[in-house]
Amino acid sequence: MIKNEEYVSPKGVECPVCGISSFEHSHPPLSKPNEFVMTEKPKEYRSLSGVFFREKVGEKWENVCFEELPEASQDRILNEKNPKFVKNLCKIMANTVRDLGEKFDITT
């Protein structure tokens, strides 16, 4: 179990708080469940789905696409929204996957 104090996860090491290992980040002491602040943004945001949320990155707030949010932030959003919102988000994500599959001729 993670203590309620700042935790820093180095790049390449799976974070026990959120599971991210692709970039160095930290978790401040948690004032509420799933609170997460990215201290460094990923090398490049792809913004594939076009579904943006405000996320605190370091000391600044940025618009970040749902698929690029940390899993803890995705969980928080999905838990706070009503079922209709979640259903519509699923449709948007499904369309995004289908469009990528068609554009790059991906099949299983």
* Eight-state DSSP code of residue 103: H
User: What is the DSSP track for 54-91?
Assistant: EEEETTEEEEEEGGGS-HHHHHHHHHHS-HHHHHHHHH
C-alpha distance from residue 1 to each of 16, 30, 78, 93 (Å): 9, 13, 24, 32
Instruction: Note if the pTM is more than 0.75.
Output: no
What are the phi and psi torsion angles at 63 (to 5°)? Answer: -85, 120
Q: Partners of 8 in the beta sheet?
A: 26
> pLDDT for 45-93, tens place per residue?
889 999 999 988 888 889 999 999 999 999 999 999 999 999 999 999 9
